[in-house]
Structure 1
Amino acid sequence: MTQADTRELRCFVAVAEELHFGRAAARLGIAQPPLTRTIQKLERRMGVRLLDRGGRGVELTEAGAVLLYEGRKALEGVAAATRRAQRAGRTPSTLVLAMKPGGDGGLLAEILAAHAAEPDATEVDIDCVDVGEQAAAVRDGRADIALLHRPNADLTGLDSEDLLVESQVALLPPHHRLAGRARIRESDLAVDPLPRWPDAAGELNSPAIREAGRLMQLISVGRLVAVGPESVRQYAWGGVACVPVVDAAPITLALAWPEDARSRAVSLFVRVATTVAPRNRDAMLHEPEPGI
């Protein structure tokens, strides 16, 4: 069966995303005629039409839509494999852990210490990424492993191990009407502006949040309230109050890595993390009291 190579896929994806041969050629840094010939050759070899070129411009066929979706994944996979292989081949090799600032549930220091004590441990680099970027960093090869939270994170293409289940607290401005309460319910926050997270629902008139420091700043000056895991207490600043939300669903801190990973360094880090985490679970999980 005839298959597209990576060069052809890059050309096709560019055209499919731009829906314009001229713009796609400029994006790729090549002339338009060779790009057109590449797409025509790919269609002949595959035996299907990928693009309709009519009076309304360039449009994807059903086959083209499928190849765009799968082609993106294939190109991301090639890029990720290249990054991981290059990182593994360096001397000394490193293991990159992606996390958002403060997104470790208070476990990371002990995990790193226990990992460093292992005779075959690889040096761990911490990559503090934007909110919601941890899983993407693993999928595209920027990171080998990630600390993230379920159910918020998209774990498609990843394996994972749960480390810590936490109750949730409301992060409130210092002078908020609820800041002095012992506990609240989610309905108490119905009139408050909540953050808009990347690729997630939120109030359209609320600031979009990608960086944890910006979130704390906006809360501290009264622009937002937010709900997060109990462990965020230790990172709250600017007088931000943390009040238990008794009916908020628990949130799970998880360690994630690529599906079917064959890296011994990843395997060792996962083993250490899942050994350390239970020792902290009872001390760090604070069950909210029932009722208000």
Structure 2
Amino acid sequence: MDPLQTRALTYFLTLAEELHFGRAADRLGIAQPPLSRSIRSLETQLGVTLLERTSQRVRLTPAGEVLRDEGRLALQAMAAAAHRAQRAGRLDPGLTLVMKPGGDGGLLPAILAAYESRPGARPVNVVVCAIHERATMLRDGRADVGLLHSPSPHCDLRGLDSEELLAERQVVVVGARHQLAQRSSVRLADLAGETLATHEAAAAGEASVRDIDQLMQLIALGRAVALAPESVRGQLRPDLVCVPVLDAPLISVLLAWPQQHRSLAVAELIRTAVDVAESHRAQPQEASG
């Protein structure tokens, strides 16, 4: 069988996301007939039906679902090869670490300081990005390592290896005038009826926010509350308060990197981060209420 062409795979993946030939063609900047011909040709090449088409809808077959999932990874791998080759060709290639705002559990300064003292250390460029971008940047080669959090709908570890650095309990962040602000602790049941701020699509009882500044403003105004790792305590505005949530699950801070990496510099940064995290866990932690 002839290898899949990148363009045909891109056409299919766009259609798999839209499940509508017209919208997919608009996204791709082509007319609908060439898109239809490309999909039919792809099905002929593979010898399977990828889409079920009716006058009302387009739906992926089981074969189409497999090609959607595997095809995404294949295109990301190709993009990663190009990005890493470009970065390796620089005179002084450094490493890129991605994280969300305040997403290091307080460990990153010690990790970077320890790594910089290692022989052969490279400059580390820290990129603070949106929650949903971190895993994608690791898979497509724009980043070498990243700090992710689990459990989280944005912690997609497909194609990645990871190591837990830290497990934190959760707190609820409320405005200083909120009725829960004076409590020493709460339980999840105490948050019933509150508007929970989230970076995900808003659902019932949730408020969708774009960035950390908007989040803090909503909380300060009493319009929402937010669950967060306990390490955010030192990063909040003075008009916000953290209250421990006794029955919330722990949040793990993970260091993640692409599977089968070949960079000695990345391996050294990973080892350094694990050593720093182990040292941090061995230190007596101050009680907090």
TM-score range relative to shorter protein:
0.7 to 0.9
Paired residues of 1:196 and 1:203 also in contact (CA < 8 A): no
Alignment of 1:260-279 (within 5 A): 260-279=260-279
**Which segment drifts farther, 104-113 or 219-228?**
219-228
**Which segment drifts farther, 71-80 or 28-37?**
28-37
Which residue identity is paired with 2:170? Q
2:120 matches 1:120: yes
Distance 1:65 1:173, change over 3 A: same
- 2:200 corresponds, among 185, 192, 198, to 198
Tell me what 1:46 maps to.
46
Shift of 1:60: 4.2
Unaligned runs of 5+ in 1: none
**Which segment drifts farther, 229-238 or 76-85?**
76-85
**Which segment drifts farther, 222-231 or 62-71?**
62-71
CA distance in 1, matches of 2:58, 2:239: 55
CA distance in 2, matches of 1:77, 1:137: 11
Alignment of 1:1-292 (within 5 A): 1-19=1-19, 21=21, 23-30=23-30, 34-51=34-51, 55-56=55-56, 60-152=60-152, 153-198=155-200, 203-283=203-283, 285=285
Give secondary structure in 2 for the equivalent of 1:254.
strand
Distance 1:182 1:61, change over 3 A: closer
Unaligned runs of 5+ in 2: none
**What's the % identity of the aligned pairs?**
49
Instruction: Give the number of equivalent residue pairs.
Output: 287
CA distance in 2, matches of 1:58, 1:189: 41
TM-score where L is the length of structure 1? 0.86
Shift of 1:51: 4.1
Shift of 1:263: 1.9
Paired residues of 2:97 and 2:127 also in contact (CA < 8 A): yes
RMSD: 2.6
CA distance in 1, matches of 2:284, 2:227: 17
Shift of 1:256: 0.7
Distance 1:33 1:190, change over 3 A: closer
CA distance in 1, matches of 2:42, 2:33: 14
TM-score where L is the length of structure 2? 0.86
Distance 1:216 1:285, change over 3 A: farther
Cα distance per residue 1:236-273 (max 9 Å; x no partner):
11411112222222222111111222222211110111
Paired residues of 2:165 and 2:254 also in contact (CA < 8 A): yes
Which residue identity is paired with 2:126? I
Cα distance per residue 1:108-163 (max 9 Å; x no partner):
11111111112211211111111343223222333211112222223232211111
Paired residues of 1:52 and 1:59 also in contact (CA < 8 A): yes
Structure 1 runs (4+) deviating above 6 angstroms are none
